[in-house]
């Protein structure tokens, strides 16, 4: 089922401080959009607001996914609606085996869709594609993992849960070139008419592998610029001085 993400005039605050100041954004089904912007512009806040983190207060606006207002749903209900967030800093879950975590999450988000045997087959294939040793399955989820290992575990969840909307919050941070390519291949394997993604990044290097249909720049809590993939190249060349040039009055 094709579902478009539509964000209208979204305002959000953290501890009483307004971070998002009227975000308008549309991500059609089947498209991958990149979200860039200076530190502190609100990129991670937007990702948490989309997923329903309780510390992020939505003060006005709406988030419509398909025909559903996500603001009416709890985080787990949003996951069942097909929304997935890959964290910038994945949490460690000591005492919970990775295999148990992955199986429970997959069955909860997609009840009745997979048998245990089908899940194990998909788990094996996905780990092979991500070049992850099966020994990770017996370890606690993310406990003692390196930054790169945690990011692969996030993309492993993406591949197993098969969301229709993925929000990737700086998935490239902490990855070397080889790991970046492997993780990007995992994301690209999900591309199709029923899958869309919002890829949050600072760097063009990720977008060399996960090629976006559109690029947006978040600045001071609003979308300040939007364009095609060439916009990311312009930012790589000129930095965020490009925002000043766009804002400058015509002579």
Domains and CATH numbers, the chain: 5-247 (3.40.50.300)
- The structure tokens listed for 182 are 């492997």
93 pairs with which residues across the strands?
A: 141
45 sits in which H/E element = helix 43-51
CA distance 1 to 168: 21
- Classified as helix, coil or strand, 57 is strand
CA distance 34 to 86: 14
CA distance 92 to 145: 8
CA distance 49 to 73: 12
Q: Tokens 């976006």 sit at which residue?
A: 212
141 sits in which H/E element = strand 140-141
Q: What is the pLDDT along the chain (251 residues), one digit of tens a residue?
A: 689 999 999 999 999 999 999 999 999 999 999 999 998 999 999 999 999 999 999 999 999 999 999 999 999 999 999 999 999 889 999 999 999 999 999 999 988 888 999 999 999 999 999 999 999 999 999 999 998 999 999 999 999 999 999 999 999 988 999 999 999 999 999 999 999 999 999 989 999 999 999 999 999 999 999 999 999 999 988 888 777 766 544 44
* pTM for the full predicted model: 0.92
CA distance 102 to 162: 12
């Amino acid at each position: 089922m094709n579902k478009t993400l539509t964000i209208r005039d979204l305002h959000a605050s953290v501890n009483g401080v307004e971070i998002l100041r009227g975000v308008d954004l549309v991500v059609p089904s089947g498209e991958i959009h990149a979200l860039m912007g200076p530190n502190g512009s609100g990129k991670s806040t937007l990702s948490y607001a989309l997923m329903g983190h309780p510390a992020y207060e939505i003060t006005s606006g709406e988030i419509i996914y398909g025909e559903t207002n996500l603001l009416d749903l709890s985080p787990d209900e949003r996951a069942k609606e097909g929304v997935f967030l890959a964290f910038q800093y994945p949490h460690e879950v000591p005492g919970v085996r990775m295999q148990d975590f992955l199986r429970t999450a997959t069955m909860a988000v997609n009840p009745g869709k997979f048998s245990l045997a089908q899940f194990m087959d998909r788990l094996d294939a996905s780990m092979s594609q991500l070049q992850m040793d099966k020994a990770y399955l017996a370890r606690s989820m993310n406990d003692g993992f390196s930054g790169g290992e945690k990011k692969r575990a996030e993309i492993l969840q993406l591949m197993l849960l098969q969301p229709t909307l993925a929000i990737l919050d700086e998935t490239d941070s902490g990855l070397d070139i080889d790991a970046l390519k492997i993780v990007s291949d995992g994301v690209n394997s999900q591309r199709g008419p029923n899958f869309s993604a919002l890829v949050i990044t600072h760097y063009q290097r990720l977008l060399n592998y996960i090629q976006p249909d559109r690029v947006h720049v978040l600045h001071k809590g609003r979308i300040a610029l939007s364009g095609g993939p060439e916009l990311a190249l312009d930012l790589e060349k000129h930095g965020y001085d490009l925002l000043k040039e766009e804002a400058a009055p015509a002579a």
